[in-house]
Amino acid sequence: MKNLPMDLLRTFVTISDLGGFTHAGELLGRSQPAISLQVKRLEEMLDVQLFNRSSGLQLTEEGQLLYNFARKILEMNDTLVSRLTSPAISGSVRLGIPNDFEVSFVPVMLSKFIRSYPNITLDVSSDLSINLRQDFKKGSYDLVMSMDEYPEHTFAEGDFIVERLSWVTGPSFSLHKDQTVPLVVYPKGCIYRQHIIEALNNASIPWRVLYCSSSLLGIQSTIEAGLGISALAHNAVPKALLQHESYQELPELGNVTIGFNYDDNNLAPAVELLLEHLRRGLMQNGDYTPQFKHHP
């Protein structure tokens, strides 16, 4: 029975997550030739082709099967190593996250963190990014994940990455020609709302706010019912909704940044662990691509 080396599996999964050998090498601290050699070794061990290199590094059927198992193997490995080798750090962390990340991959990352560090208590709140940043400055949070403009970001501390915005509809929604665009949006101050309205105004497309709510459930339910259209960050779109990089004649919405707000001069060990966990999870999730590093 063959034993698959953990470092080869990690390299393979990282390439798949980041969509390229170069980005994987940067994250893992290896050169591109070294990354390529590891993939070759893994393919030779299994006697299969893992990537269809003529189609933008898409996984083959065998590659997808390996990816699904490798993610679980690495997760179990990392959780065990964290539990056995990490110091018994305890404490509580007040974390703020944007509303629309309540139902995305963030809860999964937080669940993994709690399993790895059971002595750390999380106090998680969600709100609009503008409110989260204001409350962070008032001392209400130890760590905040928030969205801001790209490239005119305002993150005082932490890594941040670029995320594209997508139009979001329900399966039954249809926009007729010359129809005033019915919008489903968060209240004023939401970066999504700002991008939508600016893009439609610049394109001279008439619009109206059909439904406005600070509730993620309300926003999602209204869109799913087909009453209107909205926009979300690409990787925050719930599975029940449809996302479109372009939708009929509507303009593209551009990019935003997702980053972290924290006090680098007063970073408790528990906060630092959570920050690194979330940062790594963001970089490895979906289409996220790291653009900037630690802006002071």
pTM of the shown model = 0.65
Q: For the domain 91-149+259-292, what is the CATH superfamily, name and number?
A: Periplasmic binding protein-like II (3.40.190.10)
Question: Architecture of domain 6-85 in CATH?
Answer: Orthogonal Bundle (1.10)
Q: Hey, where are the domains in the chain?
A: 6-85, 91-149+259-292, 164-255
Residue 258's pLDDT is what? 84
The per-residue DSSP string of the chain comes to -----HHHHHHHHHHHHHTSHHHHHHHHT--HHHHHHHHHHHHHHHTS--EEGGGTSEE-HHHHHHHHHHHHHHHHHHHHHHHHHS----EEEEEEEEGGGTTSSHHHHHHHHHHH-TTEEEEEEEE-HHHHHHHHHTT--SEEEEEEESSS---SSS-EEEEEEEEEE-TT----TTPPEEEEEPPTT-HHHHHHHHHHHHTT--EEEEEE-S-HHHHHHHHHTTS-BEEEEGGG--TTSEEESS-TTPPP--EEEEEEE--TTS--HHHHHHHHHHHHHHHHSTT-EEEE----
Residue 288's pLDDT is what? 41
Which tokens in the block code for residue 234? 């690409």
Matching fold, domains 91-149+259-292 and 164-255: yes
Give the C-alpha separation, 47 to 97, whole Å.
44
Which tokens in the block code for residue 256? 């935003």
Contact 181, 206 (CB under 8 A): yes
Which tokens in the block code for residue 47? 């006697």
* pLDDT per residue as tens digits for the range 7-35: 999 999 888 887 788 878 877 878 888 88
* pLDDT per residue as tens digits for the range 142-171: 999 988 876 555 544 445 677 889 999 999
- Chain-wide mean pLDDT for the chain? 84
Give the C-alpha separation, 192 to 255, whole Å.
10
Residue 181's pLDDT is what? 96
* pLDDT per residue as tens digits for the range 205-236: 999 999 999 888 899 999 999 999 999 987 77
Fold of the domain built from segment(s) 164-255: D-Maltodextrin-Binding Protein; domain 2 (3.40.190)
Q: How far is CA 252 from the centre of its chain?
A: 20
Whether omega before 171 lies within 30 degrees of 0, making that bond cis, reads: no
Q: Which residues pair with 182 in a beta bridge?
A: 208
Give the C-alpha separation, 118 to 166, whole Å.
36
Q: Which residues pair with 22 in a beta bridge?
A: none
